[in-house]
């Protein structure tokens, strides 16, 4: 009996010790590691930090090498581009010279056709038909439509430009290219306007048609540029080298008188257009008297001058004209 009781006590003791043993086993599994483990872990961290620093250093070195390589490549490319640009510039210059040569050739053909077309103005007027006749005579019958899109106005503009150039050449000869002083500037102006209108006499019957073409809005810039340039040339060679406000006033006044005389000229049936030249002389005298009268009233003078100057400057700026002479 005593043995049974001892056995029961052993069993109860075993049941009591088994959970404690298992708990002890679990606790032993999570016990702190030895100090050597901490030292090893610290060493590993230091090793990782060292590797990261090395990595950064290598990347920085690689970036420097890449930058140096890119800079060298850029310099080489720039050098090659410079060499190529020189060749390109030469090619562009040659191309530009070729374009200028082609344009000069086209202009020469155009001038030849228009010169020939002037002979047909009395019969066909200032029309495309006259240009067609001139092209056929010049040996270029197929270029009329592409070369003269402005139609009959091309012929009018050519005629005006040609006459203006002839007048300027004549004025240069009379004044030795503007170096010789003109004794009577007023008479010089009268004779210059008369000489220019004399060039229209062979086409007087067809000139109203030319004036109608000139008056069309799309042709106004070219026509106005020719008039402003002409009056400036006449005033310049007459000795007008002033730089005051009267510079504009005199040119606008001369342009107005020219157009008034041109209209009178178309209606004049007197022999040799004597009445036209008398009309021109009277208008010039009146202009001088008007200028003298206005000069006595300073306020009125500035008012008229500002009006003329504004109109002249506006027209000049619109057309992009310059009148600076050496």
DSSP structure string for 61-79: HHHHHHHHHHHHHHHHHHH
pLDDT (0 to 100) of residue 103: 82
CA triplet 311, 316, 322: central angle to 5 degrees? Answer: 140
DSSP 176: T
pTM: 0.63
Which of 234, 160, 229, 252 minimizes the C-alpha distance to 192?
Answer: 234
DSSP 1: -
pLDDT (0 to 100) of residue 276: 96
- Kindly list the averaged pLDDT for each block of 10 residues, start to end, along the chain of length 326: 52 52 46 44 45 59 69 67 51 69 85 94 94 90 78 95 96 91 91 96 96 92 91 90 70 90 95 95 86 61 55 49 45
Q: At what angle do helices 185-198 and 274-295 cross, to 10 degrees?
A: 140
Q: DSSP string covering 191-211, please?
A: HHHHHHHHTTGGGGGGHHHHH
Q: Is 137 in contact with 116 (CB distance < 8 Å)?
A: yes
Q: At what angle do helices 152-175 and 220-237 cross, to 10 degrees?
A: 10
Paired tokens of 106 = 């086209």
pLDDT (0 to 100) of residue 39: 39
Question: How many Å separate Cα 106 from the centre of its chain?
Answer: 23
Q: Is 289 in contact with 217 (CB distance < 8 Å)?
A: no
């Amino acid at each position: 009996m005593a043995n049974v009781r001892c056995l029961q006590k052993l069993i109860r003791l075993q049941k009591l010790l088994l959970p404690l043993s298992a708990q002890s086993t679990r606790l032993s599994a999570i016990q702190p590691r030895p100090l050597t483990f901490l030292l090893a872990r610290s060493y590993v961290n230091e090793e990782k930090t060292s590797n990261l620093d090395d990595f950064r250093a290598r990347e920085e070195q690689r970036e420097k090498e890449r930058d140096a390589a890119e800079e060298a490549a850029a310099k080489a490319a720039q050098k090659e581009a410079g060499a190529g640009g020189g060749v390109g510039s030469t090619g562009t210059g040659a191309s530009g010279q070729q374009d200028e040569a082609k344009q000069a050739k086209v202009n020469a053909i155009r001038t030849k056709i228009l010169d020939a077309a002037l002979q047909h103005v009395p019969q066909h007027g200032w029309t495309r038909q006259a240009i067609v006749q001139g092209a056929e005579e010049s040996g270029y019958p197929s270029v009329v439509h592409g070369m003269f899109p402005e139609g009959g106005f091309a012929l009018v503009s050519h005629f005006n430009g040609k006459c203006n150039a002839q007048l300027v050449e004549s004025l240069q000869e009379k004044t030795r290219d503007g170096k010789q002083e003109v004794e009577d500037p007023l008479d010089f102006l009268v004779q210059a306007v008369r000489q220019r209108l004399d060039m229209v006499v062979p086409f007087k019957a067809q000139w109203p048609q030319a004036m109608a073409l000139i008056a069309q809005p799309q042709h106004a810039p070219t026509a106005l540029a020719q008039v402003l340039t002409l009056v400036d040339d006449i005033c310049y060679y007459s000795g007008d080298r002033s730089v005051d406000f009267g510079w504009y006033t005199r040119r606008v006044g001369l342009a107005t008188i020219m157009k008034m005389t041109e209209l009178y000229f178309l209606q004049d049936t007197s022999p040799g257009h004597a009445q036209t030249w008398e009309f021109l002389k009277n208008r010039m005298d009146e202009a001088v008297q008007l200028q003298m009268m206005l000069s006595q009233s300073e306020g009125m003078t500035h008012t008229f001058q500002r009006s003329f100057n504004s109109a002249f400057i506006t027209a000049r700026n619109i057309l992009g004209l310059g009148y600076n002479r050496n």
